[in-house]
Structure 1
Amino acid sequence: MSIQTHFFVSHELQTKIGEIENKLIGVSKEFFEIWREDIFLSLAWWFSLLLTIIPWFLWIKYRKKESSSRLLFAGFFVIIISSWLDFFGTMYGLWHYPSKILPSMPPFIPYDFCILPVFAMFLIQYKIRIHVWVKAVIYGGINAFVGEPILWMIHFYEPEHWRFFYSFPIYVIIYIMADWLSKRTSFAEL
């Protein structure tokens, strides 16, 4: 049976989508049980919690306070892009995370929401005379060739159809865009 294209969604398509969503709900419930029984409060979970808290604690303590809003603007950009890319990578089976701090999306909160944005914000605020491309290569290199391999070695990250060097240009571009956003002067008072 083929589904006809309509301006509104056909009954057949609604039924098929509903069946798929029910399967996703079932898988999510199954994962939640595994997470609750085997991951929550495990040593890996506590380590993930530390990876979530420590970067932000360091940022709060050592940030350039008068530039906090500007840095957070860039940091939130990193969070949005990295978690969005991470979602697609896990959805298409390029990698997965055996241990999660929460049994939901995004897949690995400590990296997407903490390590990546805080590292970018620190690089943006320190040594501002260093060219953005140099900092971008440092950001990309450390994340792709140090951060990801460490997470892989401790089994927090399992690349399936992905190589560490694929991540390098993505991290470089993310940093360049975050740096560019941090330097915008187009903000006006509300």
Structure 2
Amino acid sequence: MNKGIERIQELFEKIHEINNEQIQIWLEYIVFTWQWWIGLGLTIIPWILWFLFRKKDSSLRLLTSGFFMITISTLLDSLGIQLGFWLYKYEVLPFIPAFTPWDVSLIPVFTMFFLQIKPNISPYIKGCVFGVVTAFVAEPFFIFIEIYEPLTWEHIYSIPIYFILYLIAHRICHGKSYISLS
């Protein structure tokens, strides 16, 4: 057998062992802690609020932008973890990354609400506010409650990323590719 394939098999076995150990840690130390309950709430409650208070005639546009944010923020968070920039603790479920409340709920729902509130304000101003609030309010909050730990990352690095993502989400939401069926 090829040496590279043998090494991949060995690494797979180590990863499998680590995953099993992580599940045991989750069962013993994480599930039902107050941080776990916050993570669960932050995964579910924003979507309930969005469903109740969304601009119903813009649901498709908003959801398209929201799913863009889910996809890109999940990809970037995964990359940041793999590169050792930060880590998350207190997974809601042991098989799903700990950043799920952030990337699959808070970021997209916050983006969708931001897109529908005061739609006549410049997207650049809203993008700046989005970036600053997310980097300097949300990230420190997650550090404070010990769910997120930056290792080599600074909050200031997040601002241009959130700004650009917001502008893309705005463009998706307000693009001319949506047609009226009426």
- Regarding TM over 0.5, the answer is yes
Quick one: which amino acid aligns to residue 134 of structure 2?
N
Quick one: which amino acid aligns to residue 32 of structure 1?
I
Q: How does 1:143-182 map to 2 (within 5 A)?
A: 143-182=134-173
Specify every segment of 5 or more residues in structure 1 that has no aligned partner in the other structure, as ranges: 1-9
1:4 matched to which residue of 2? Answer: none
1:98 matched to which residue of 2? Answer: 89
Deviations 1:77-96 (A, max 9, x none): 00000011100111121111
Deviations 1:12-68 (A, max 9, x none): 221111111111111111111101111112211111111111111110111000110
In 1, are the aligned partners of 2:70 and 2:103 still within 8 Å (CA)?
yes
1:187 to partner: Cα distance = 4.3
Cα RMSD of the aligned pairs, angstroms, is: 1.4
* Residues matched between the structures, number: 180
TM-score calculated relative to the size of structure 2 = 0.94
In 1, are the aligned partners of 2:89 and 2:98 still within 8 Å (CA)?
no
1:105 to partner: Cα distance = 4.0
- Segments of 4+ moved more than 6 angstroms: none
Of 42, 52, 59, the residue aligned with 1:51 is 42
Q: How does 1:1-190 map to 2 (within 5 A)?
A: 11-187=2-178
Deviations 1:131-182 (A, max 9, x none): 0000101110110000000100111101111111111111111111111111
In the alignment, the residues of structure 1 paired with residue 152 and residue 95 of structure 2 have an alpha-carbon distance, to the nearest angstrom, of: 22
Larger gyration radius, structure 1 or structure 2: 1
In 2, are the aligned partners of 1:32 and 1:103 still within 8 Å (CA)?
yes
